[in-house]
Amino acid sequence: MDSATENLRGSFLYQLFDSMDLNLESDGNQNEQEQQKRHLHVLAVDDSHIDRKLLERLLTVSSYQVTCVDSGDKALEYLGLLENTDNDSTTSCSSSCCTSSSSLSPQQEASKVNLIMTDYSMPGMSGYDLLKRVKESSWKNVPVVVMSSENVPSRINMCLEGGAEQFLLKPVKLSDLRELQSHILNPLSNSCKHFDDSFVDDNTNNGSHSCKHFDDSFVDDNTNNGNDNNDNDSDKKNNNSNKRKAMSPDCSERRPKITELVVL
C-alpha cells in the first residue's frame, strides 16, 4: 500500500465511510442520510446545564448519538487523553454525562466519537484549549465545532485557524445542525479536500487558507457596527450574516485542490 493511500486510510472520513459501508455512487437520499447519522456519535461539551440539555435534544432529534460532558477536562477524560486513563475515570464521567442509549461500553463508545461540539467560554479549560488539545492528539481528524453566545470575529478566526470545522453562534438551532450535517456528511459535494493528500497531512494550512476568506468578510461586516459591544439589536442582522459566513465555507477556495486528487 503506498503512502498516499496510507494517509487516506488514516483520515477520519475514510474510516467513517468504511464503517458505514457507504455506497459512494448513490444520490444520498433522506433515508440514507438518516442511517448515516445514526452511526455518528457526537461528544458535546458545555458547562451550562441548560445548553447541554438543549444540545442533547437538538442532536438526538437530528438522529445523532450524543454524549454530553460539562467541561473540557471531562471531554479529554472521555477521549482517553488525560494522563491517568484508568477505568475509574469513565465512571466519574458518566455522573455528569447524559448519553443516548447504546449497547457499547464506555471505552468502545469513546472510540467512536465522530464529532465534537464544544462551548467556547467555560471555566478552566476553554473550548479553544480543548480544540487545540484534540488537534494535537490521535483525535485530530475528528471535526470540532466551537459554539459561543458572543459574536467576536477575532475569537471566531482564532478558532477556525486553530482547526475548528465550524463556529456556531448560540443559541444553536436545528437549521445550524442541518447545515453542519451537510458539511460533514457530504464531503464529495462540498469539497474535494478530503481526498487531497496534502489536506490530510497539512490540516492547519488548509484551515487557515479558507479562514482568510472569513477574515475579509468579517472585517467588512463588522466595520459597519462602529462599537465594541456586539450585543445589540441593530447588530442582529450582522450577527446572522456573520454566523452564516462562519458556517458555510466557500468551496471555491478549496476547489483548486481538485487537480491534486489522489485517485483511489
Partner 1 sequence: MEVGQLQERFVDYTKSLFCEGFLDDQFLQLQQLQDESNPDFVVEVVSLFFEDSEKLLNDLTKTLDQQFVDYKRVDAQVHQLKGSSSSIGAQRVKNACIGFRNFCEEQNIEGCLRCLHQVKQEYSLVKNKLQTLFRLEQQIVAAGGAIPMVE
The distance of closest approach from Cβ of residue 226 to partner 1 in the complex, given in angstroms and rounded to an integer, is 16
List CB contacts of 224: < 8 A, sequence separation 6 or more.
238
The distance of closest approach from Cβ of residue 147 to partner 1 in the complex, given in angstroms and rounded to an integer, is 11
Looking at the Cβ atoms of 61 and 219, the one nearer to partner 1 is: 61
The angle at the Cα of 190, spanning 222 to 136, to the nearest 5 degrees, equals 75
Check if the beta carbon of residue 121 is closer than 8 Å to that of residue 48: no
Binding site for partner 1 (CB under 8 A): 48-51, 53-54, 57-58, 61, 121, 149, 170-171, 173-174, 229, 231-232
How many residues would you count in the chain?
A: 264
Looking at the Cβ atoms of 47 and 161, the one nearer to partner 1 is: 47
Looking at the Cβ atoms of 51 and 109, the one nearer to partner 1 is: 51
Helix (H) and strand (E) counts in the chain: 14, 6
Looking at the Cβ atoms of 10 and 171, the one nearer to partner 1 is: 171
3-state secondary structure of 190: helix
Check if the beta carbon of residue 158 is closer than 8 Å to that of residue 151: no
The distance of closest approach from Cβ of residue 30 to partner 1 in the complex, given in angstroms and rounded to an integer, is 18
Q: Which helix (H) or strand (E) holds 114?
A: strand 113-119
**Cell triple for 261:** 486528487
Looking at the Cβ atoms of 8 and 58, the one nearer to partner 1 is: 58
Q: Is 123 left (phi over 0), alpha (psi -120 to 50) or beta?
A: beta
C-alpha to C-alpha distance for 209 and 205, rounded to whole angstroms: 6
The distance of closest approach from Cβ of residue 205 to partner 1 in the complex, given in angstroms and rounded to an integer, is 34
The angle at the Cα of 254, spanning 240 to 112, to the nearest 5 degrees, equals 80
The distance of closest approach from Cβ of residue 168 to partner 1 in the complex, given in angstroms and rounded to an integer, is 13
Looking at the Cβ atoms of 86 and 228, the one nearer to partner 1 is: 228
The distance of closest approach from Cβ of residue 77 to partner 1 in the complex, given in angstroms and rounded to an integer, is 24
